[in-house]
Amino acid sequence: MLLAGAPRLQFDPRYQTFFDPDDPQRLAFEHLREVFSPSDSVVFVVEPGPQGLFATSTLSLLEFLTTEGWQIPYATRVESLTNFTHSEAEGDDIFIGPLVEDVSALDLPGLARIEDIARADPMLSGRLIEVDGDLTAVVVTVLPRGDPLQSSRGIMMAARELAARAVADHPEATIRLAGIVAMNHAFSESSQQDSLRLLPLMLLLILMGLRVLLASWPLVVATFAVMVAAVAGALGAAGWLGMELTTPSALAPIIIVTVAVADCVHVGLATARGEGALYTRLRVALDEHHGPVLLTTLTTAAGFLSMNFSAVPPFRDLGNLVAIGVLLAGVLSLWLLPALVMLLPDAVRRPSWVEAMGRGCAALATARPGRRLLVGGLVMLLVLPGLARLAVNDDFVSYFSPKQPFREAAELVDARLGGMYEIEYQLMADAAGGIHSPAWLAEVDAFAAWLREQPETAHVLTYTDVLKRLNRTLAGGAPKAYQLPDSAQAAAQYTLLYELSLPLGLDVTNMVDPDYRSVRLLVSLRDVDSRRVLAFEERAGRWLAQHAPAVTERHGGINLMFAHISERNVAAMFEGNLFAVLVIGALLAVALRAPGLAVLSLFTNLLPLALAFAVWGWLVGDVGLALSAAFGMTLGIVVDDTVHLLTRYRRLRADRDVASAVRSTLATVGPALVVTTLILFVGFACLAASSFALNSLLAQITLLTIALALLIDLLLLPAWLLYRASAAASEHGRT
C-alpha cells in the first residue's frame, strides 16, 4: 500500500525549495520580482576567440544569439552588446536605438566607434562585456510556467541547442551557460547523476561486502530484500504525504539502505555464530537482538527527526524520509529477514573470520585501562579546541562540482564579468512620480557611487546612469553634461523619451516601477562568500540610513537568501540537536534501566561528534547548510554501536565480573560493530562522491564521525568500564 504513493512523487529543481514560503529573504526577493520585470535568466557566456570581441564575426555571433534567443521557451527579454540601447546626438536630431544595427555594413572605423562607446558605458562595461577583455554575455530573461522540472528542462534544452548551432557557425568561439535557470537545472542534473551513478555503485559494493563478510547468500538476499522494501516503503510514504523530492532529499535512499544493512548484520551474524538448527539459531539471535535493534531504530529515527527543526525544507524532508525508512528497516529486519532466511536453502554458516576478529576485539580489554584513558584525554585536549575555529559560512556556487558546466560558467562570470552574487535594491521615493525629484536622484546616484568604491563590487546597474547619458546626449554630447537633470520636469521628460525609444521587448520595467515611485539598483559582487555578503549588506544599509534620508529601500537576492538561511539554520538546528540529545538520552535510560550506563552511552556518542567537528574546525573551519544539519543525523547513527555494546554488557554483567563481561561483550558484539561500520563507511563514502557539495559535505562529516565512534566504542568505552571497576575495587579494599 505504501509503494502505491511513489508515483505521486515529483522533483522540484528550483532554488526556492530551500526556503519556506514565509522566509523573509524569499518574500523580499519575490516582492522585487513582482514590482519589476522577472529576473530568471539563461546567460550565454561567450568567449570569442583570437579575433576579439569587436570583430565582425563576433558581432554576427552575438546578433544571431540575440535574435534567436527570443525562440527560447518563456523568453520575455533579450539583452546583449548588439541590441544595447544607445543614445547620441546627430546635429539637431536625437538618435536612440540599438548600438549595432547592421553588422555586415560595419567597416573598421565603425567597429572602433562601437568599441569606444561600449567600453565607456557603465551599463555595458563590466556587466555585458568584460572591462579590459573580450568576454561577453547575452542574457535571455524568462518567465517559466507550469511544472518546474519540465519548464527548466525545456529552457535548457533550447538554450543548449542554440549554443550548439552558434558554435557550429563560429567554431572559434566558446559558449557556456550560466544564470538562474542554469543553476536550477544543475540542481536536477546533480540529483539525477547521483541517483544513476552512486546508488547502483553503493548497492554493488555493499552486496559484495556482505557476501564476503557473512559468507551466506541467503543472508545477503534477505538483507537486500529488507533494503529494497525499506526504501520503497519510505518513498511511497513520502508520495502519500505530498513531499517533493529535491537535490538533498533525493539521496534519502542511499542513507536508508546503509542504515538498513546495519540492522540486518547484527541479526545475521548472531544467527551465523549460533549452534544447532537454523530455526533455533534464528530464535536465539532474535531473542538477543530484538531489543537492541528496536532501540537503535528509535534512536536513529529520533536523530533524523531532529532535522525537522531545520530552517531548510529539503533537510526536513530528508530527515522525515530517512526516519520512515529507518523505522521500516528496523521492523523488517526482525520480521521479513528471518522469514526469508527460513524460506531460502540453509546455507547460513559461521564466517571463518568472526572468531578471529572476536578474539582480537576481546584483547582490547587490556590491563591498565587508565593509560588508554590518559592518552585519549590528551588527544581530546589537542583536538577539541578546533571547535572554536568553526564559523558559519557558505558559497552557493561551490555547491556544485568544479566539473559541472554551470559552475565553470558561473566562476567565469564571477572572475571576468559582473559576478554571480547580486543584491537587488528597490529604492523608493515618498510618492508616485517621486523618482524624478533632483534631490532624491542625487541620493540614489551617491549610493551608486559609494557602492562602486567598495572592494567587493564588480558592477552597479542604476537608472541614474540612463538619465545622465540622456542629459549628455541632449546637450550635444558634451562630456561635462554627463550629470543628472536639474529639474523634476526634465527627469520625467527624459524617462518618457527613453521609454518611447526602446524597441519591442526592451521596456523600462526592469529598472522603474509603473508608478515612478521606485527604481531598481543592481549591485554585483565578486569573489564573496556568505559571510562577506552579509557584512556588505549591513554596511550598505548603514550608509543608506546615514547619507540618503529621502530614500526608503527594500533589497533581496539569491545569494542573500542562501547567506541568511545558513545562519538561521545553525541557530534552528541547535534546538534540534538538543531535542535529539534529550530524546535519545531518555530512550537509553528507559531501555538500559541503569542511569549510569545511559549517561555513559550518551557521553560516548557525543564525544565522536565533538571530535569530528573539532577536526573539521582545524582542517576547514567553515560550517554551512550541510554541516548545520549533520549533528542530529550522525548522533542517531553512531548511537547504534554503543547501544549494542552496553545492552550486551548489562546482560552479561548479571552473572560475571566486569573484566569477563567486557571481554565477552567485545568478542560477541565487536565483529558486528566492525562490519556495520564498514558498511556505513562504504555507503557514506559513495554519498561523499556526490557532485552536489551539500550532500558530499554531509557525508564527509558523517564518515569522520562513524570512524571516531568505532574507535571510542572499542578502545575508550571498555577502558572506562574497566577503570571504574578497578577504582571501585580499590575503594572497597581501602574500606
CATH number at residue 262: 1.20.1640.10
The β-bridge partners of 141 are: 41, 77
* 533 lies in the same domain as 573: no
* 303 lies in the same domain as 346: yes
Tell me how far apart the alpha carbons of residues 80 and 66 are, in angstroms, rounded to a whole number: 7
Tell me, yes or no, whether 8 lies in a domain: no
Provide the domain limits for residue 524: 430-550
Residue 240 near residue 310 (C-beta atoms within 8 A): no
**Residue 556: what residue type?**
G
Q: Which residues contact 558 (CB under 8 A, 6 or more apart)?
A: 15, 29, 180, 396, 422
Of 516, 550, 584, the last residue of a domain is 550
Tell me, yes or no, whether 19 lies in a domain: no
* 221 lies in the same domain as 158: no
Residue 296 near residue 331 (C-beta atoms within 8 A): no
Ranges under pLDDT 50 in the chain: none
* 283 lies in the same domain as 385: yes
Tell me, yes or no, whether 15 lies in a domain: no
* 342 lies in the same domain as 228: yes
The string of pLDDT tens digits covering residues 591-603 is 877 788 888 888 8
* 338 lies in the same domain as 450: no
* 443 lies in the same domain as 487: yes
Of 550, 581, 609, the last residue of a domain is 550
Tell me, yes or no, whether 559 lies in a domain: no
Residue 16 pLDDT:
85
H/E segment holding residue 47: strand 41-47
* 632 lies in the same domain as 700: yes
Tell me, yes or no, whether 309 lies in a domain: yes
The β-bridge partners of 520 are: 426
Cell of 524: 554585483
The string of pLDDT tens digits covering residues 8-60 is 888 888 888 889 999 999 999 889 888 887 768 999 999 998 999 999 999 99
* 455 lies in the same domain as 389: no
Residue 622 pLDDT:
82
Q: Look up the pTM and report it.
A: 0.85
Residue 145 pLDDT:
86
Residue 730 pLDDT:
59
The CA-atom distances, in angstroms, between 492 and each of 447, 488, 515, 549 are 21, 6, 12, 22
Residue 287 pLDDT:
84
Residue 158 pLDDT:
97
Residue with cell string 542530529 = 632
Tell me, yes or no, whether 684 lies in a domain: yes
Can you say how many angstroms the Cα of residue 467 is from the centroid of all Cα atoms in its chain? 41
H/E segment holding residue 421: strand 421-428
Tell me, yes or no, whether 480 lies in a domain: yes
Residue 598 pLDDT:
80
**Helices 630-653, 717-734: inter-axial angle, 10-degree rounding:** 50
Cell of 461: 546597474
**Residue 447: what residue type?**
F
Q: Is 215 helix (H, G, I), strand (E, B) or coil?
A: coil
Max alpha carbon distance in the chain (Å)? 112
Specify the number of domains making up the chain.
3
* 183 lies in the same domain as 80: yes
**Residue 75: what residue type?**
A
Of 550, 578, 596, the last residue of a domain is 550
Residue 469 near residue 121 (C-beta atoms within 8 A): yes
Q: Is 499 helix (H, G, I), strand (E, B) or coil?
A: helix
Residue 526 pLDDT:
86
Tell me how far apart the alpha carbons of residues 290 and 395 are, in angstroms, rounded to a whole number: 45
* 513 lies in the same domain as 612: no
DSSP 713: I
Tell me, yes or no, whether 24 lies in a domain: no
Tell me how far apart the alpha carbons of residues 136 and 414 are, in angstroms, rounded to a whole number: 12
* 521 lies in the same domain as 642: no
Q: Which residues contact 454 (CB under 8 A, 6 or more apart)?
A: 536, 539
